[in-house]
């Protein structure tokens, strides 16, 4: 007994490394930097002024003009990229506005690329839900089911339209089986071999997408549970990611982020491509709502959120706070 006491060393004091801001900075394991942040931007056909999205205070649907300005500012701030979403003036059963070279998203891609050149990675959502009148991510069978393989053909056409508009990176987000392979093949066959793919690989049927549905004027009735993943499954998330890497994904994504930090970690450990995570609309809205009520320190919550998502293993974070966070990080 007494001997045991004797061999005990000095008290271990981890607090020594927390004493000053400089010490804490020096030993920080995670660094959020503007260049790894991607700002999602919405552009709606026919707008002459930006239009606010009530469930996402501070986020707007852009006009073509205000979109260019937002992209320019993103480049000035040193962000990694922008992810563009288009809301067409008219939706139809096949989402034809997604493929039309004169469709709002394709025009916006050309506008933004002309504005920022190679200063920013210009990405576009590759999915039909913003363009279909039923709001699903794909084409429907006569029974109303989402037809996987028919949808793949539409995604190939959409990829070609976006590539022709000048996009750097496409983001297939519809969770159809085989979507990365079909998009890669279509791009390669049309000699768009330099257009890269950020695959929304492990995408869950999540309640945290709620505010996004307002952001894109979605007409969805029901849910996406036959194609997006069950929140209960993490092993399956890794399976989806590995399939996408095998099909040619350059970057894989986990979405949402905060309720899926374990999935981000598993994916980071499983692949040798960059991992992205999408800090989605509902995650944004929760912090903004609490902050508006004076219930939370908004700026601290934003930085802690982005740090946690990075610490879990994501190399790239898509976040509606990207521009503001870049500004905060410079202070």
C-beta of 111 vs 129, nearer to ligand PBG: 129
Is residue 95 within 8 Å of residue 132, measured between CB atoms?
Answer: yes
For the purposes of burial, counting CB atoms within 10 Å of the CB of 316, is it exposed (0-12), middle (13-18) or buried (19 or more)? buried
Q: How far is the CB of 191 from ligand PBG (least distance, A)?
A: 27
Q: Give the integer Cα–Cα distance in Å for 328 and 323.
A: 9
Residues ≥6 apart with Cβ < 8 Å to 112: 67, 68, 71, 82, 84, 120, 122
Per the annotation, the verdict on 255 as an active-site residue is yes
C-beta of 27 vs 139, nearer to ligand PBG: 139
Q: How far is the CB of 128 from ligand PBG (least distance, A)?
A: 8
Residue 274, SS3 per DSSP? coil
Q: Record the tokens describing residue 40, joined without a space.
A: 């999602």
Out of 68, 69, 91, 255, which one is annotated catalytic?
255
Q: How far is the CB of 127 from ligand PBG (least distance, A)?
A: 4
Residues ≥6 apart with Cβ < 8 Å to 251: 169, 196, 197, 198, 199, 273, 274, 275, 276, 316
Per the annotation, the verdict on 5 as an active-site residue is no
What angle do the packed helices 235-247 and 261-270 form, to 10 degrees?
A: 40
Q: Give the integer Cα–Cα distance in Å for 153 and 181.
A: 11
C-beta of 109 vs 127, nearer to ligand PBG: 127
Residues forming contacts to ligand PBG in the complex (CB under 6 A) are 125, 127, 129, 173, 209, 212, 224, 280-281
Q: How far is the CB of 114 from ligand PBG (least distance, A)?
A: 24
Is residue 150 within 8 Å of residue 138, measured between CB atoms?
Answer: yes
C-beta of 145 vs 269, nearer to ligand PBG: 145
Q: Record the tokens describing residue 326, joined without a space.
A: 């870049």
Out of 5, 69, 91, 203, which one is annotated catalytic?
203
- Of 123, 120, 86, 91, the C-alpha closest to 105 is 86
C-beta of 26 vs 232, nearer to ligand PBG: 232
Q: How far is the CB of 255 from ligand PBG (least distance, A)?
A: 7
Q: Which residues are catalytic?
A: 203, 255
């Amino acid at each position: 007994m007494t001997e045991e006491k004797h061999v005990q060393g000095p008290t271990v004091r981890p607090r020594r490394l927390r004493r000053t801001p400089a010490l804490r900075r020096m030993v920080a394991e995670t660094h959020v930097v503007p260049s790894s942040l991607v700002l999602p931007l919405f552009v709606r056909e026919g707008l002459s002024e930006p239009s606010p999205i009530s469930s996402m205070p501070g986020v707007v649907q852009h006009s073509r003009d205000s979109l260019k300005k937002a992209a320019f500012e993103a480049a000035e701030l040193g962000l990694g990229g922008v992810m563009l979403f288009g809301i067409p003036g008219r939706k139809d059963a096949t989402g034809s506005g997604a493929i039309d070279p004169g469709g709002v998203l394709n025009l916006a891609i050309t506008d933004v690329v002309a504005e920022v050149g190679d200063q920013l990675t210009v990405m576009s959502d590759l999915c039909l839900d913003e363009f279909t009148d039923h709001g699903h991510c794909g084409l429907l069978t006569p029974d109303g089911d989402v037809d996987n393989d028919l949808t793949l053909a539409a995604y190939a056409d959409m990829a070609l339209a976006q590539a022709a508009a000048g996009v750097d990176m496409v983001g297939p987000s519809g969770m159809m089986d085989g979507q990365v392979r079909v998009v890669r093949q279509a791009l390669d066959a049309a000699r768009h071999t330099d257009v890269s793919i950020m695959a929304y690989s492990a995408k869950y049927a999540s309640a945290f997408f709620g505010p996004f549905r307002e952001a894109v004027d979605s007409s969805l009735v029901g849910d996406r549970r036959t194609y997006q993943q069950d929140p209960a499954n993490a092993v399956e998330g890794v399976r989806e990611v590995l399939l996408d890497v095998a099909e040619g994904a350059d970057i894989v994504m986990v979405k949402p982020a905060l309720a899926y930090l374990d999935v981000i970690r598993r994916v980071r450990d499983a692949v040798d491509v960059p991992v992205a995570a999408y800090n989605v609309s509902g995650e944004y809205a929760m912090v903004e709502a609490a902050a508006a009520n004076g219930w939370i320190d908004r700026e601290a919550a934003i930085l802690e959120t982005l740090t946690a998502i990075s610490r879990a293993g994501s190399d790239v974070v898509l976040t509606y706070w990207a521009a503001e966070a870049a500004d905060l990080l410079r202070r």
